[in-house]
Each structure stands twice: as C-alpha cells, then as structure tokens.
Structure 1
C-alpha cells in the first residue's frame, strides 16, 4: 500500500511525501501483572531519563495543572454558591469549586494522567478493568488506562456507563471492556457525598463485576452526611468494603495555595475545613 502511494505521489506535482515508520509495539503483559516502568524510548527525552517522581511530586503537578486549567476557580460569587449548595447532596456552601471538566488540554491532562496511573499502580490491588462513571470519569479512565500501559507496562481494559440505556446497535448500559467476572477500579473526579461512586458500584454489580478499589481526583476531606463524624471516603470504605484512594486532598490544595501566596483563598478554605473537615 505504501509503495503504491509513493508511485502515485511521484506522478503528481506535489511536495515530497513523508512516509512515517510504523509505531513501536510495546511487549504484551498479563492483565493483572504490575511490571517495572518501561525502558526509555530516547535518552534525549528528559522525562524518560529522569527517575520516577514521588507521589507528592505528582500530586503537586496535578494541583498545578488543575489551577492552570481553571478547574479551581476563586472566588465563587454568592449567587453561584447558593446554587451549587442546593445541587450539593450535603447542602454546604463551599468557598471553592473544583470543576474537573475544565481540564481539557494536553498540558493539563498529561500530569493528571501520570498522577492517576501512579496512584493506581502503587496503592491498589490487582485488577482487570478501569471504570469511568459518565461523564467526567470517562476521559480519566481512558487516560489512566493508556498511561498505565506506557509508563508501567500494565495492560488492563476500561469501560464506562451510558446515562441512557441503548436499545440498538451493541445495546446495553455500559461501553468498553466487559465487566462480568472482572475486578474493577472506579475513577471519579470529586467525592463530596459519594452518590456518583455508589451509583457506579451498583452498575458494576449489575453487570457482574467486582469493585476492588476507587480512585478520586480530589478528596475534599469532609465529614459525610450519614453520621457527621467520618469522612465520605471512610463511610464508603466501610459500606462497600473497598479501598478508596485520592490523587489530591484538601491539604494538598491548601499547601499549594500557601506556596503561591494566595492568603485570602487559604483563609476561606481553612474556615470551611474547620467547620466541615474531618477531625483527626
């Protein structure tokens, strides 16, 4: 096919044709095997030749990309606060709003994918499928699935749910890797009341999968709405019997804001944390 294209191109008055070599194929790995990081593709690439960063460094990068991408806007107008409080299952007026949907560019998604993959690879048990609840969880699952393979050689699938069940084509309520008989890790953006994750657990159970872990992008580190003493993460871990981990926590956000000299925002967040934060 390439030779035919070259001959056709030579017969036409067009610029020189550049034929790209086929991409390098990574060695296959077992679905649940956690392998060491893949060897550098090029020693000239700094990101490949440097040693792996720590969890804290990856978290700081994720904080930076979230702020740079506009996912952590300050301040929130009072009218918007009231509106968001009504939409929040915990009915709380927060001084900050984390909108992961605004992380929509390569520079912001790249460190985010690395942080997700690092957290999954180091803190969770073996699994087969990443599940991204619609809608914001879908790109996170796809990015983490790809990054786990390119950075760690871990070959797993990913899937997501539909908001409306499809009755034509392939049909069904989920898309992607099959869940039946599989160990599943759920990815979420922000956990406040845990409603989205609980819904995902029900969907996965209905499809015959077994949830073995949950990774959220941001843990607000607030007390849940059931007992008022434990965090939503703690409530979910006890309720579902799964391990829940976060890429970022409220402490990470506060520390990053302090380093940037944003004292006004830090003061509001501290006051909110004093009122609703988990007491340790």
Structure 2
C-alpha cells in the first residue's frame, strides 16, 4: 500500500473511532467564530484509558509516517498536557523515546518555579494540540519555546477543520492551519481533516450518520478552504 493510501486509511479509522466514541458529534453547534457547525469535535471526551491510548496510537502513527523530525514534545495547557504525555508513552512503546514538557497557566513561585514543567525545553520542539482554532495557542507556545532557547519545528493536531479562520467577525481567506504553515512557517501534521470526515459520511453504512452529509457538505461549501 502506498503512503497516501495508508494515510487515508488511518484518517478513516480515526474518524470512525471519533464518531463511535461520541467525540465527533453531529447536529448544530456554535463555533468560536460564531458559526453554526453541523459537527463538533470535543477532544475532552477522550476521557478514559482506552480512548486516550487509542488516540495516542493515531498521533504516533501519523507522526512517524510524516517523517517530521523532532527532539521533544510540548503540550500547551490544558488539553495539550494529556496529549503530550500519552503520545510520548506511545512513541516510546514503538521505540522512539522522546521527552515532553508542558506549561502552567500561572507561574509557580515556589519549588522549581516558572511556567514550564517536565523535561528541559531544548532542541527541535513539536507542539501537540487537539485542533487549531485561531493559531493563538500556537503563537503562545512558540513564544514559550523560543524563550527557553529551543526551536519550534512543527505542530501536530487530531483534526484539521479545513475552514476559513475568522477575525473580528470577518471570514479570512485562509484557515488557521494554513496560517500556521504559511505565516508561522511550521509544518502541521493532522490525523484527519474535514475532507476525511466527508469521505466517511459518504461511505458509512449507518444511515443515521450519513444523513448529516448534506449539512456538512453545505458547511464546507460556505466556509471551507
């Protein structure tokens, strides 16, 4: 199987997993940009050992397939903390032991102090998160990594919504992921994207789920990039 085909298969596995666990839901949801989205991805619902372990496998498989080289993982608070730890464990299981670190929301004035926790932030640092909504979290992570004297080398996320970013109520001509790639000059490795979700909706045997395909298509036509 070629790499593109195997990555497509991985994306389909991930979307199926996210739907079956209730992490990816369909209906009507208001996004941070104020849009009414026909689907919602809530990574906070990867809330037990089996789910987080499986999620970490998807991240690790995608990262190893991408060829992106990094020395350590950085998880921005709060969701990134669990993700960084889980993916570091899975990578180590696969023979790629990487240190990880994360930040506190507030600086600690006792003990070791500071806002960074975990391994010393150094070398090529991979930022991990669930999605990129506006790029704000990525910019904040870049600043912390650079302040520590290290080099941000990429971002990995679970789902790329592949839709236009918004600012002050106005749609922008690029997505948050494109902003990170083109303006911040960092590669982004996503397990799956909106295009993979649409493919899933077109091929699933569940009529209850496939019924949402029209709404998701319409949303992509309006806001997609």
TM-score when normalising by structure 1: 0.71
- Cα 1:117–1:203 change in 2 (3 A) is same
Please give the secondary structure, in 1, of the residue aligned with 2:166.
Answer: coil
Partner of 2:144: 203
Is 1:212 paired with 2:153?
Answer: yes
Kindly state the Cα deviation for residue 217 of structure 1 after the two structures are TM-superposed: 0.5
> 2:217 aligned with 1:275, yes or no?
no
1:238 positional shift: 1.7
Deviation string, structure 1 residues 98-140 (Cα, Å, up to 9, x no partner): 1001011233223311110112122143211101111111111
**Could you say which residue in structure 2 is the equivalent of 1:58?**
10
User: Does structure 2 retain, via aligned residues, the 8 Å contact 1:124–1:213?
Assistant: no
Q: Secondary structure at the match of 2:96?
A: coil
Q: State whether structure 2 residue 158 is matched by structure 1 residue 158.
A: no
Aligned length: 215
**Mapped pair 1:171 → 2:118:** no
Q: Residues 157-184 of structure 1, C-alpha deviation per residue, up to 9 Å, x if partnerless?
A: 11111111111112110111111x4210
- Is residue 90 of structure 2 the alignment partner of residue 147 of structure 1? yes
Give me the whole-angstrom Cα distance separating, in 2, the residues matched to 1:107 and 1:253.
22
Which residue does the alignment assign to 1:263? 210
Greater relative contact order (Cα < 8 A, sep 6+): 2
Distance 1:56 1:110 in 2: 21
RMSD: 1.9
Q: After superposition, where does 1:50-199 map in structure 2 within 5 Å?
A: 54-76=6-28, 81=29, 84-85=30-31, 88=32, 90-151=33-94, 153-179=95-121, 181-199=122-140
1:212 Cα deviation from its structure 2 partner:
0.5
Name the CA shift for 1:124/1:241 in 2 (closer, same or farther; >3 Å). farther
**Contact 2:201/2:210 (<8 A) preserved:** yes
Deviations 1:198-231 (A, max 9, x none): 2211221222221111111100001223682222
Query: TM-score scaled to structure 2, two decimals?
Result: 0.88
Larger Rg: 1
In structure 2, runs of 5+ residues without a counterpart are none
Q: Secondary structure at the match of 2:182?
A: helix
- Greater per-residue strand proportion: 2
